[in-house]
């Protein structure tokens, strides 16, 4: 009996789960549990961590998993590394499903690309003006002390884990966003520089187009490296085809 584990939490993971359920492929989608009201995929879902590499390997054995798809966020490097190590130890096939990044965006060459959130903050300091931070709540600790008395616009899906500076304006919302709305938001708050990370996809791309229209400089944190030697797919259909090639789909 085939059993596919989809490490999810992304739109691509939900799309893949829907395809597998429609095809009758037994699967379990795993969510980290960091979002209070996650968008749940089709089919069985488990929520929470595995307890490191050993815990994941034990879960894979106990549930007779025959293939794993790592469809976590492009910046979820820890889970990706754990999946690669656990699958290698058990001889299980592993696929990395990741949406294309924004390196091919028409404006990408005009952005400032950096390798860390600290470097992003430093680049924003050079530009000046109110920063619009869209890199997620788990990155804010890189900026709190340095920008404690500086005006900043921060957009989050979940509430912050720690109190944020009183000088900051915090917005709670989830994409997709429209370009016109993003442009109006940046005008309203007098945004001088946009800080984002190379998440890719269409859900949050509108802010990049809005920044171009307004002439707002963009600082992008590049994607971290992932485990080497892992097969990759750019969309759910390609991931489903990979599973088909493994003989996972019923005739």
Rg, the chain, Cα only? 20
Give me the pLDDT at residue 36, please: 66
Give me the pLDDT at residue 37, please: 75
Give me the pLDDT at residue 80, please: 94
| Residue 229 CB contacts under 8 Å (≥ 6 apart), including other chains | none
Give me the pLDDT at residue 246, please: 87
Domains and CATH numbers, the chain: 4-98+226-245 (3.40.50.720), 108-221 (3.40.50.720)
Give me the pLDDT at residue 1, please: 61
Per-residue model confidence as pLDDT tens for the chain (251 residues): 689 999 998 999 999 999 999 999 999 999 987 766 778 999 999 999 999 999 999 999 999 999 999 999 999 899 999 999 999 999 999 999 999 999 999 999 999 999 999 999 999 999 999 999 999 999 999 999 999 999 999 999 888 988 999 999 999 998 889 999 999 999 999 999 999 999 998 888 999 999 999 999 999 999 999 888 999 999 999 999 999 888 744 43
Work out the number of other CB atoms within 10 angstroms of the CB of residue 246.
13
Tally of CA atoms within 13 A in the half-sphere of 223 that contains its CB: 18
For residue 170, CA distances in Å to 130, 143, 159, 164 come to 13, 14, 9, 9
pTM: 0.87
Enter the DSSP assignment of 141. G
Cis peptide leading into residue 176 (ω within 30°): yes
Place of tokens 């058990």: 90
Give me the pLDDT at residue 249, please: 42
């Amino acid at each position: 009996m085939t059993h596919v584990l989809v490490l999810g939490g992304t739109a691509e993971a939900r799309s893949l789960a829907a395809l597998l359920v429609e095809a009758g492929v037994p699967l379990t989608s795993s969510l980290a549990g960091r979002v209070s009201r996650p968008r749940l995929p089709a089919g069985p879902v488990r929520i929470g961590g595995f307890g490191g590499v050993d815990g994941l390997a034990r879960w894979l054995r106990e549930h007779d998993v025959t293939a794993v798809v790592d469809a976590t966020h492009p910046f979820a490097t820890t889970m990706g590394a754990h999946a690669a190590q656990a699958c290698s130890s058990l001889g299980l096939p592993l696929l990395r499903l990741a949406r294309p990044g924004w390196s091919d965006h028409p404006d990408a060459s005009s952005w400032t690309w950096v390798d860390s959130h600290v470097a992003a903050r430093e680049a924003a300091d050079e530009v000046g003006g109110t920063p619009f931070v869209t890199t997620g709540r788990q990155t804010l600790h890189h900026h709190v002390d340095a920008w404690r008395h500086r005006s900043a616009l921060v957009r989050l899906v979940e509430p912050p884990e720690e109190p944020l500076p009183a000088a900051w304006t915090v917005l709670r919302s989830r994409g997709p966003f429209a370009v016109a709305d993003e442009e109006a938001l940046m005008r309203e708050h007098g945004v001088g520089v946009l800080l984002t990370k190379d998440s890719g996809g269409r859900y949050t791309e509108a802010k990049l187009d809005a920044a171009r229209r307004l002439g707002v400089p963009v600082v992008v944190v590049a994607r971290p490296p992932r485990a080497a030697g892992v097969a990759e797919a750019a969309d759910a259909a390609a991931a489903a085809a990979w599973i088909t090639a493994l003989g996972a789909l019923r005739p």
